[in-house]
Chain A
């Protein structure tokens, strides 16, 4: 039980896919301009990762080794397309904001990375937990980065205006720089810095 719990909690900090495994950086920059799209993206990645992990784990003894990567790719692609169709049907305006980035989940290294590193060699239930854990670790970073970027870049959070008009009248203006991708990279860098300060064992010597 403890081992299974670790599968979910490790990727939150010690083995975080973005800040420690350094996977999935691209979408962490692209969809974190506002909070809501980032949350929808994080949920989509978690769902795809968990189900892909389970499917590959169930099939792990049947996959011919020569087409192993292709099978992983087909499973990921099929799940992503299904998620994309569901988003277009149920949350249309958010899917428009995410536009091509949902399709690009297929290229998100976290998925291939976890399928290769874990799902191929473990049973379905631990694989499912690993998927949830890594998805949650990805979600935490996405939420932190997008909250910062939306707050300073648009004065709002989840679409709700937080900074009152009086501040703008006084001379405050939204930070345009933070909406551009490079700032997201710098914010992730700062998060890695803080994380290594608080969790010393992550520092490589």
Chain B
């Protein structure tokens, strides 16, 4: 019996079978590989958190270094109260960012650097030009001075917005303070090329934006101000020294 490969029925059945076979193959692959992929994402998160306190962890030793340096991980609400029974590491920041500030569950990590100094690590989440941006602020024990900053993004423009992930941009934040006296001012990002923060007279709470990466820079500023970080204001004020 010669199949008429051009008949409607054959075409229809062929397409249906193909779709089912492909769907099964892809689902199988996805399920099989998910554990490894999830582990990669978790290790990367640990590497980022460690990076904010200046520790460069490789894929192999990230988990061990994380155990050594991160002493405590807990969640707070926008009033600054500690929440019980929440695994801080597993909090999905994408979901938290969508919620209104008073309902958010906010992770906080307490770390210890090699010299025994206590640092507070706060995750950040915001919007760049093309997609999400995120990062970590590591604060000194005074809950005010920035010890280290790490930023990353999903798809900002290489050479422009993507520069937030470079060390030259992140180094700017070291030593800046979030509070001006008692007021929470956070960091302002100044447009206009290198030295703009200095020109604006705000070296204590200001950094230079990325030339050509204005929207990403402004998105980052919003992330550390009223878009995300302000939700931590009460927590920081409660513990500020």
Q: Which B1-51 residues sit within 8 Å CB-CB of chain A?
A: 3, 5-6, 10-11, 14-15, 18-19, 22, 25-26, 29-30, 33, 36-37, 40-41, 44
Chain A residue contacts of B37, Cβ below 8 A: 85, 88-89, 92
Interface flags for B49-87 (1: CB within 8 Å of A; 0: not) read 000000000010000000000000000000000000000
Contact A66 B11 (CB under 8 A): yes
Chain B residue contacts of A100, Cβ below 8 A: 155
Q: Is B192 an interface residue (CB 8 A)?
A: no
Chain B residue contacts of A99, Cβ below 8 A: 155
Docked complex Cα distance between A179 and B115 (Å): 40
Q: Is A140 an interface residue (CB 8 A)?
A: no
Distance to closest chain A CB from B150 (angstroms)? 15
Interface flags for A89-126 (1: CB within 8 Å of B; 0: not) read 11011000001100000000000000000000000000
Given A82-B25, A100-B155: A88 in contact with B33 (beta carbons within 8 A): yes
Docked complex Cα distance between A75 and B36 (Å): 25
Contact B6 A65 (CB under 8 A): yes
Contact A78 B36 (CB under 8 A): no
Chain A residue contacts of B30, Cβ below 8 A: 85
Chain B residue contacts of A63, Cβ below 8 A: 5, 14
Chain B residue contacts of A78, Cβ below 8 A: 22, 25-26
Most A CB within 10 A of own CB, among B26, B37, B155, B159: B37
Interface size, B (range):
20 to 34
Contact B10 A89 (CB under 8 A): no
Given A92-B40, A179-B159: A64 in contact with B14 (beta carbons within 8 A): yes
Chain A residue contacts of B44, Cβ below 8 A: 92-93
Chain A residue contacts of B40, Cβ below 8 A: 88-89, 92
Given A85-B30, A85-B37, A89-B40: A62 in contact with B11 (beta carbons within 8 A): no
Distance to closest chain B CB from A98 (angstroms)? 12
Partner of B6, one of A61, A64, A82, A85: A64
Q: Is A185 an interface residue (CB 8 A)?
A: no
Docked complex Cα distance between A45 and B146 (Å): 45
Partner of B26, one of A81, A179, A180: A81
Q: Identify the closest chain B residue to A91 (Cβ).
A: B40
Contact B14 A62 (CB under 8 A): yes
Chain A residue contacts of B3, Cβ below 8 A: 62
Q: Which A34-74 residues sit within 8 Å CB-CB of chain B?
A: 61-67, 70-71, 74
Chain B residue contacts of A70, Cβ below 8 A: 15
User: What are 5 sample pairs from A and B whose C-beta atoms fall under 8 A apart?
Assistant: A62-B3, A65-B6, A71-B14, A74-B22, A78-B25
Interface residues of A (CB under 8 A from B): 61-67, 70-71, 74, 78, 81-82, 85-86, 88-90, 92-93, 99-100, 179-180
Interface residues of B (CB under 8 A from A): 3, 5-6, 10-11, 14-15, 18-19, 22, 25-26, 29-30, 33, 36-37, 40-41, 44, 59, 155, 159
Q: What 4 A-B pairs have minimum CB-CB distances, sorted nearest first?
A: A92-B40, A89-B36, A64-B11, A89-B33
| Besides the known contacts A74-B22, A82-B26, 17 further A-B residue pairs in the complex with CB atoms under 8 A apart | A61-B5, A64-B6, A64-B14, A65-B5, A67-B14, A74-B18, A81-B29, A85-B30, A88-B33, A88-B37, A89-B37, A92-B37, A92-B40, A92-B41, A92-B44, A93-B44, A100-B155
